[in-house]
């Protein structure tokens, strides 16, 4: 059960605010991602360090 904010929190934590975790979970479900997919993506991504910026 989600507790409703009391006092000054009501001003900051609106009930209509976007909850990022919930939004990302819904997006991944809509895209058809499974728990195994990030593991596969991690296996094929480039792990070399980025080249530092230069200001020539």
Q: Mean pLDDT, 10 residues at a time, over the chain (56 residues)?
A: 66 76 90 84 86 89
pLDDT at 11: 66
N-term to C-term CA, the chain? 57
Q: How far is CA 54 from CA 3, 46, 51, in A?
A: 50, 21, 9
Task: Enter the pTM of the model.
Answer: 0.43
Sequence-ordered list of residues with C-beta below 8 angstroms from that of 12, at least 6 positions apart, any chain = 5
pLDDT at 2: 63
Residue where the block lists tokens 């997006």: 27
């Amino acid at each position: 059960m989600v507790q409703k904010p009391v006092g000054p929190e009501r001003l900051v934590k609106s009930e209509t605010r976007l909850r990022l975790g919930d939004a990302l979970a819904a997006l991944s479900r809509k895209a058809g991602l499974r728990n195994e997919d990030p593991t596969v993506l991690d296996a094929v991504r480039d792990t070399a360090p980025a080249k530092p910026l230069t200001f020539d």
